Amino acid sequence: MIKVEGLTKRYARTVAVNDISFEVEKGQIVGFLGPNGAGKTTTMRILTGFLPATQGKASVAGFDVHESPMEVKKRIGYLPETPPLYPEMEVSEYLEYAGQLKGITTGDIKRRTDDAIGRCSLGEVRSKLIGKLSKGYRQRVGIAQAIIHNPDVLILDEPTSGLDPKQIIEIRELLRALSGEHTIILSTHILSEVEHSCERVIIISQGKLVAQDSVANLTNRLRGSEAVALEVAPVEGRPAATEVQQRLEQVSGVSRVMMKDARDGRLVFEVESLQGRQIRSELARTVVNAGWNLNELRPVGLSLEDIFLQLTGAEQKDEQEGGKK
């Protein structure tokens, strides 16, 4: 449905999007994930025809974004980061305007407007001025505007940003209800968002594609390695934190040791293992053999959050090192 090949967008000094390629199948919900400023919005704007790409190709439903923008625009519903609303218009009036802009005929517009209002549960506010609506309702009017012409592809830029938890759940449910008939790309920097509503994730950081996979695969990919929270209680200042850390790092199979906390005479570490290595028993043995008090040893699951940080963090490190050279 959506095909992106080698997409690059350069501004005067910065590269916002750097050689990104991905594909989205019909009917999928894809989460577009990345820290702020990663290039999510730019990529979406290129897909919607709002911005041209510097290099590379993007096509939606078989139409090239650059060569036949009108055909693409007819098939896309787009919710920008700030919903494009006119505060002086009533909700139904606005939706009729947006619908007609997207090519719905005058004969059809009333029915389509009612349909969109129904699907986004805007019935209560349909004749209110948009300027007087709460943030949650505005976001929903924005979504209604995106789905009114029944597009094949929905592109939503941070659909849940700035909403309260109840509203977020409502929007999620709405997205789930829409997912059957539409292909949806939604961008977010909130990971739980992706875990909840997406089938696939595309992670970008600093304009580069870092990972793309199904949500399940991504979490599995790093499940092979384990993370362990470890608490050592020193007696009379022995051992020192650095000493413990060094000793732990020497344990075979350990990839990383992080000092988490050192209050009330307790030293808390988080230890991560290499892929497919069990390190818990070895860690326990090391601590006890050294004659220290082992207070706690507990496995911590790697969440999507950690994966994300690992992927994007590593990327940033490379970049910095590259800069030094």
Partner 1 sequence: MTHILLICKKELKSYFASPIAYLLMAFFGLLFGFAFYTATRDFVRFSFQSQMMGQAQPMNVNEQIIRPLLGFASTIALFLVPMITMRLIAEEKRTGTIELLMTSPVKDYEIIIGKWFGAIVLYACILGMSMINIAMLFLWGKPDLKPVLIGYLGLLLQGGCLLAIGTFISTTTKNQIIAGGVTFFVCLLFWLLSWFTAFDSGVVSQVINYLSIVTHMDNFQKGVLDSKDVVFYLSMIFFSLFMTSRAMDSLRWRA
Which positions lie near partner 1, rule CB under 8 A?
A: 45, 48-52, 70, 73-74, 76, 78, 80-82, 84-86, 88-89, 93, 97-98, 100-103, 145
Closer to partner 1 at the Cβ: 65 or 271? 65
The DSSP 8-state label assigned to residue 198 in this structure reads: -
Measured CA to CA, the distance from residue 258 to residue 280 in angstroms comes to 16
Closer to partner 1 at the Cβ: 30 or 146? 146
Closer to partner 1 at the Cβ: 45 or 247? 45
Closer to partner 1 at the Cβ: 88 or 319? 88
Give yes or no for a contact between 234 and 263, defined as CB atoms under 8 angstroms apart: no
CB of 45 to partner 1, least distance (A): 8
CB of 87 to partner 1, least distance (A): 8
Measured CA to CA, the distance from residue 141 to residue 125 in angstroms comes to 10
CB of 5 to partner 1, least distance (A): 21
Give yes or no for a contact between 193 and 270, defined as CB atoms under 8 angstroms apart: no
How many CB atoms neighbour CB 103 within 10 A? 11
CB of 49 to partner 1, least distance (A): 6
Give yes or no for a contact between 144 and 137, defined as CB atoms under 8 angstroms apart: no
Instruction: Estimate the crossing angle of helix 165-179 against helix 135-147, to 10 degrees.
Output: 10
Report phi then psi at 291, rounded to 5. Answer: 85, 20
CB of 161 to partner 1, least distance (A): 14
Count of positions (residues) in the chain: 325
CB of 76 to partner 1, least distance (A): 7
Residue keyed to tokens 């920097």 = 189
Closer to partner 1 at the Cβ: 106 or 242? 106
Closer to partner 1 at the Cβ: 100 or 179? 100
